[in-house]
């Protein structure tokens, strides 16, 4: 009763406390954010106004005229002389030489600067306020070399060329506003921040000097920040994005916030509030901080120093969470009162409820052990007494069920023993060796066939490890052990609830006694040499009894004779490959050899000497081609010869191939049509491509009779050169279309062809990046289409040969 009553009470109190705490935090956070945004906006306007008023000084025509004259003098002067002069001037400034100081602090340029500073030159509404004049610690002008030209203060450096603010403001003569972060100034002996504005020439093209103004950070920001406070400790402060304090009523200027975790939380580029791990003022308790960036000022500081300025609203954790602590106290008091009431009610109810329940609990334990002999007696006159009666009836039914279960268990035990004996008899009668292992590779069972295979007596291997009787090399042993582990993983996955289909796909299990054992797996070298016999093996998981480790089975099949037969077949395949090579050489040499014979006969009949030279030249070319074929087939072609490709004009090669066929074939009765379009050359070897054309034209001629037509054409489309060779012969039957490029396939009669011509054509086309396909209808002719990638765009029709 205590738990039932206290748990909802505690949950309700905790949820109420957390919700109230959340709402208080959100209200405070939103208030802090609003205060930060308003204060940041005002300070942003103050600094922008100060920057605008200071910039008006840089627009004074007299200041511009004096600095332009100074620029011209420096540009026309000698650099070495100027350097010596600068050293003397620097020394005089340090020694505070009155003659040297007077032109700088009391000269015309200084008086103009003083007039703007005092407001005697500027209009009343554009003059500096008393606060900013009071906070100004330095106001001076430098020339294009960073040398001091005029100043209303004396505690300033004479040369400023190497100062970061001068480099940023001058910006290589381009000029830009530079707002420097707060830092300690040794000359002024205080923390300052500075505003530097370039002075542009009269046409606004080039910077001719820099106006630099340094402010006391504490004195400048205090009127805008220190006056804002709330509660006892609440106030606002100004920091940069690196956590450096620019102004704070409590923390010293220039100090970095101690807890670095707070800095990224309160310096984003947007206003907001955030819970923080500490208060940023040395406290370690969590706090709430409102923040906002100064948009206009931050744009200048980002360009100048890479940092931004942020307004930071803070209140001490003790004061901030005071209302929450009071709420927690009241909730705790209310919880204590409620807890006392629950204890009182629980003690009253215990005597009537808890004691009978404990008696029931003790009786239930006895029932679980089967030791309850006496019925439970409870006289409360309510539901608990009824429950006791039901427990007594349940006990009687359980005793009866236990007697029936014992009888059923004895029957099932006999069935299991029968199944074990039957399984053993089946395995003993299997002619293939079968071995059972446990997860540690110990042998638990070997059937007689496996004992005979290993030459062991009955029971001699039981208890030994598998690799004590199976002698293999280290690599094979590691492979077998890895396979055993894989089988174990598959078994574990099957027990983890995977579907039957997934288990079969993962383990690839089947009947281990199947006669088609490892022949399909010989590619994975799943064979073992045992006593000069070759066995294929396979693993299979064996379901273990509950509580026992898994078991793994190994089944072997003697494949000695099959392996030897496979070796003989492999040798025969090598001899067949040698026959293919020989036939290929003969076929490739036949075509150029016929050409040699044809040209030789033409020489015998020719009387024209020049024509005889042309025929002789063709014979030499065919001889070189035959030599190249022999080198190609025997692997003697040097590697670099394959790289020497040339630009091949397919129109010319097609024309020459037709002439060669006309010399060796009887084609006067054929109607030959040609359509050679302007095409670009391709990369290749002319002899190879011409020979491929000869083979295709010869096949076309041999497939036709008198009166048929032969078409040869070329065209160029989208970067591809297409060659078309079409005959009107008897065509190729549809069942043979997919076989025309296979080695030794031919539809000619015995002795008319070797069936290698088209095979060599496809090899040549693919060798030079092309493709070939055949289209044919039986009785209507055949078309061969070859495509090659072009080397460059084709010539015009006027330029085409």
- Residue 753 has what pLDDT? 56
DSSP code per residue over 726-792: EE-SS---GGGGGGTTSTT---SPTTT--S-HHHHHHHHHHHTT-EEEEEE-TTS-EEEEEEEE-SS
Cβ–Cβ < 8 Å for 444, 551: yes
pLDDT surpassing 50 at residue 565:
yes
The pLDDT > 70 percentage for the chain reads 85
- Residue 109 has what pLDDT? 92
Give the angle subtended at the CA of 255 by the CAs of 249 and 256, to the nearest 5°. Answer: 115
What's the rounded Cα separation, in Å, for the pair 797 and 33?
80
Q: Helical H runs in 350-465? A: 355-369, 383-429, 448-454
Structure tokens at 782: 């055949």
Least confident of 160-164, 433-437, 492-496, 542-546: 492-496
What's the rounded Cα separation, in Å, for the pair 604 and 602?
5
What's the rounded Cα separation, in Å, for the pair 112 and 541?
102
pLDDT surpassing 70 at residue 352:
no
What's the rounded Cα separation, in Å, for the pair 60 and 155?
24
DSSP 8-state secondary structure symbol assigned to residue 643: H
Phi, psi of 621 (to 5 degrees): -65, -40
- Residue 514 has what pLDDT? 47
Write the pLDDT tens digit of every residue in 37-52: 999 999 999 999 999 9
Instruction: State the pLDDT confidence band at 518, using cuts at 50, 70 and 90.
Output: very low
Max mean pLDDT range (23-37, 351-365, 484-498): 23-37
Max mean pLDDT range (13-27, 365-379, 452-466, 604-618): 604-618
* Sign for the pseudo-dihedral over CA of 17, 18, 22, 25: positive
Give 224-230's long-range contacts (Cβ < 8 A, gap of 24+).
224/39, 224/42, 224/43, 224/46, 225/39, 225/43, 225/249, 228/35, 228/39, 230/35, 230/315
In the predicted model, what is the mean pLDDT of residues 616-628? 80
Write the pLDDT tens digit of every residue in 69-102: 999 888 887 777 888 888 898 899 998 888 899 9
What residue ranges define each of the domains in the chain, with the CATH number in brackets? 13-44+226-320 (3.30.450.20), 59-220 (3.30.450.20), 438-443+460-558 (no CATH), 567-641 (1.10.287.130), 643-799 (3.30.565.10)
Helix (H) or strand (E) holding 683: strand 682-684
Least confident of 89-98, 366-375, 601-610: 366-375
Least confident of 229-243, 376-390, 631-645: 631-645
In the predicted model, what is the mean pLDDT of residues 711-716? 94
DSSP 8-state secondary structure symbol assigned to residue 609: H
- Residue 376 has what pLDDT? 77
Instruction: Give the residue, 611 or 800, on which the prediction is more confident.
Output: 611
Least confident of 277-291, 303-317, 461-475, 478-492: 478-492
- Residue 637 has what pLDDT? 42
- Residue 642 has what pLDDT? 45
pLDDT surpassing 50 at residue 641:
no
What's the rounded Cα separation, in Å, for the pair 66 and 54?
18
- Residue 122 has what pLDDT? 66
Q: How high is the mean pLDDT of the chain?
A: 81
- Residue 501 has what pLDDT? 45
Q: What is this structure's pTM?
A: 0.44
Instruction: Give the residue, 654 or 79, on which the prediction is more confident.
Output: 654
What's the rounded Cα separation, in Å, for the pair 414 and 124?
118
pLDDT surpassing 80 at residue 779:
no
Cα 336 from chain centroid (whole Å): 57
CA atoms within 13 A on the CB side of 346: 12
What's the rounded Cα separation, in Å, for the pair 523 and 502?
25
The residue count of the chain comes to 801
What's the rounded Cα separation, in Å, for the pair 23 and 15?
12
Least confident of 31-40, 76-85, 203-212: 76-85
What's the rounded Cα separation, in Å, for the pair 788 and 718?
11
What's the rounded Cα separation, in Å, for the pair 481 and 486?
9
Max mean pLDDT range (413-417, 685-689, 714-718): 714-718
Instruction: Give the residue, 282 or 536, on which the prediction is more confident.
Output: 536
What's the rounded Cα separation, in Å, for the pair 159 and 87?
10
Express the helix, strand and coil content of the chain in percent, nearest 5 each: 55, 20, 30
Least confident of 44-53, 161-170, 489-498, 633-642: 633-642
Cβ–Cβ < 8 Å for 212, 166: yes
Cβ–Cβ < 8 Å for 298, 308: yes
pLDDT surpassing 70 at residue 639:
no
Instruction: State the pLDDT confidence band at 612, using cuts at 50, 70 and 90.
Output: confident
Structure tokens at 305: 């120093």
In the predicted model, what is the mean pLDDT of residues 725-739? 83
- Residue 574 has what pLDDT? 62
Q: What is the dihedral of CA 619, 622, 628, 634, to 10 degrees?
A: -100
What's the rounded Cα separation, in Å, for the pair 52 and 358?
88
pLDDT surpassing 60 at residue 177:
yes
pLDDT surpassing 70 at residue 519:
no
């Amino acid at each position: 009763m205590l738990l039932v009553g206290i748990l909802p009470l505690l949950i309700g109190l905790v949820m109420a406390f957390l919700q109230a705490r959340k709402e208080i935090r959100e209200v405070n956070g939103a208030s802090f954010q609003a205060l930060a945004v308003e204060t940041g906006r005002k300070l942003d306007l103050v600094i922008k106004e100060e920057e605008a008023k200071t910039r008006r000084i840089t627009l004074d025509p007299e200041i511009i005229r004096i600095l332009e004259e100074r620029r011209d003098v420096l540009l026309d002067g000698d650099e070495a002389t100027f350097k010596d002069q600068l050293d003397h001037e620097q020394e005089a400034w340090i020694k505070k030489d009155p003659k040297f100081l007077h032109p700088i602090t009391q000269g015309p340029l200084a008086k103009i600067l003083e007039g703007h500073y005092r407001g005697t030159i500027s209009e009343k509404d554009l003059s500096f306020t008393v606060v900013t004049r009071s906070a100004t610690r330095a106001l001076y002008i430098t020339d294009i070399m960073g040398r001091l030209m005029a100043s209303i203060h004396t505690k300033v450096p004479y040369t400023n060329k190497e100062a970061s603010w001068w480099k940023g403001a001058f910006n290589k003569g381009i000029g830009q506003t530079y707002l420097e972060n707060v830092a300690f100034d040794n000359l002024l002996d205080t923390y300052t921040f500075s505003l530097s504005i370039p002075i542009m020439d009269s046409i606004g093209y080039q910077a001719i000097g820099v106006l630099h103004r340094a402010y006391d950070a504490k004195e400048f920001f205090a009127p805008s920040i220190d006056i804002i406070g709330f509660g006892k400790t609440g106030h606002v402060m100004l920091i940069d994005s690196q956590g450096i304090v620019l102004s704070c009523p409590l923390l010293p200027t220039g100090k970095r916030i101690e807890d670095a975790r707070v800095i990224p939380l309160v310096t984003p580029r947007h206003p907001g509030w955030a819970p923080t791990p500490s208060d940023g003022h040395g406290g370690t308790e969590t706090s709430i901080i409102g923040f906002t960036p100064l948009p206009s000022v931050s744009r200048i500081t980002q360009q100048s120093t890479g940092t931004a300025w942020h307004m930071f609203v803070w209140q001490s954790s003790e004061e901030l969470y005071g209302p929450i602590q009071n709420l927690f106290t009241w909730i705790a008091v209310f919880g204590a009162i409620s807890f006392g009431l629950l204890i009182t009610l629980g003690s009253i109810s215990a005597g009537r409820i808890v004691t009978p329940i404990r008696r029931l609990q003790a009786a239930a334990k006895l029932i679980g052990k089967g030791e309850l002999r006496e019925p439970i007696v409870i006289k409360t006159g309510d539901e608990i007494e009824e429950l006791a009666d039901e427990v007594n009836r349940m006990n009687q039914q359980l005793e009866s069920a236990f007697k029936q279960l014992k009888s059923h268990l004895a029957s099932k035990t006999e069935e299991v023993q029968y199944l074990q004996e039957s399984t053993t008899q089946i395995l003993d009668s299997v002619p293939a060796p079968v071995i059972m292992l446990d997860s540690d590779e110990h042998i638990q069972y070997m059937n007689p066939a496996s004992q005979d295979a290993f030459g062991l007596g009955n029971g001699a291997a039981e208890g030994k490890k598998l690799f004590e009787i199976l002698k293999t090399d280290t690599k094979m042993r590691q492979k077998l052990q890895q396979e055993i582990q894989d089988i174990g993983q598959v078994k574990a996955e099957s027990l983890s609830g995977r579907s039957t289909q997934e288990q079969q796909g993962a383990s690839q299990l089947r009947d281990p006694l199947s006669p088609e054992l490892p022949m399909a797996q010989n590619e994975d070298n799943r064979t073992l040499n045992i006593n000069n016999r070759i066995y294929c093996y396979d693993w299979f998981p064996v379901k273990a009894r509950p509580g026992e480790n898994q078991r793994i089975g190994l089944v072997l099949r003697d494949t000695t004779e099959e392996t030897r037969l496979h070796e003989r077949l492999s040798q025969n395949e090598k001899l067949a490959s040698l026959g293919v090579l020989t036939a290929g050489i003969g076929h490739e040499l036949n075509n150029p050899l016929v050409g040699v014979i044809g040209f030789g006969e033409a020489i015998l009949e020719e009387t024209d000497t020049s024509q005889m030279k042309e025929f002789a030249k063709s014979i030499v070319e065919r001889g070189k081609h035959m030599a190249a074929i022999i080198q190609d087939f025997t692997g003697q072609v040097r590697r670099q010869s394959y790289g020497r490709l040339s630009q091949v004009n397919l129109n010319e090669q097609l024309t020459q191939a037709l002439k060669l066929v006309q010399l060796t074939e009887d084609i006067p009765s054929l109607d030959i049509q040609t359509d050679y379009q302007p095409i670009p050359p391709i990369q290749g070897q002319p002899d190879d491509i011409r020979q491929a054309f000869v083979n295709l034209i010869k096949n076309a001629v041999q497939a036709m009779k008198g009166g048929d037509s032969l078409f040869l054409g070329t065209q160029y489309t989208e970067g591809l050169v297409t060659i078309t060779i079409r005959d009107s012969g008897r065509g190729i039957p549809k069942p043979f279309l997919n076989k025309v490029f296979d080695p030794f396939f031919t539809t000619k009669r015995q002795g008319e062809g070797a069936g290698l011509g088209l095979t060599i054509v496809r090899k040549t086309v693919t060798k030079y990046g092309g493709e070939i396909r055949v289209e044919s209808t039986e009785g209507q002719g055949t078309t061969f289409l070859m495509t090659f990638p072009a080397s460059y765009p084709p010539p015009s029709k006027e330029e085409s040969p």
